[in-house]
Amino acid sequence: MRIVLQNVLSAQVTINDEIVSTIGRGFLLFVGFTNGDNEETARLMADKALSLRVFADERGLTNKCIQDIKGEVMSVSQFTLYANVKGGRRPSFTDAMPPLEATKLYDYFNTYLTSKFGKIETGIFGADMKVSLTNDGPFTMLLDSKDLYDR
């Protein structure tokens, strides 16, 4: 599982020229799954994201987590996080989890995230989404379950 985590001042998802979700200051999470990911992986990655101290305190040091700043969270599915470009110029997505399985795991991830954090905003899995954001910093991190946890 991979998450591109961005500290944002704002973010929104638009589908067919209609805004479907929006947040203010907080996290925009682009979320992708690969074969072998499961509910445990989703829980561990959600817990990791929520516990990261990546927001500035009064002294400008990154000492605050998302709950400390009373921020908001948006989760957007992103199968392209598993693009493989080693073989040529056209990406292969064979490492991305198949859509039926990924949809279920994405829904589980969002449900778990909500149970731990509270209300979150989401995109719509598989939709042609337009995501706009104002990155704060910029501050962007890549979380990869293979780097964070023994599996």
Exposure of 116 in the CB half-sphere (CA atoms within 13 A): 19
What is the helix (H) or strand (E) element at residue 16, kind and residue range?
none
**Number of CB atoms found within 10 A of residue 97's CB:** 21
103 is catalytic: no
CA distances 17 to 12, 14, 74, 128, 130, Å, are 12, 6, 19, 11, 9
Q: Of 6, 34, 78, 122, which one is the catalytic site residue?
A: 78
Is 80 annotated as catalytic?
yes
Cβ proximity of 80 and 72 under 8 Å: no
Q: Which one from 79, 109, 117, 122 is the annotated catalytic residue?
A: 79
> Is there a catalytic annotation at residue 78?
yes
Active-site residue set: 78-80
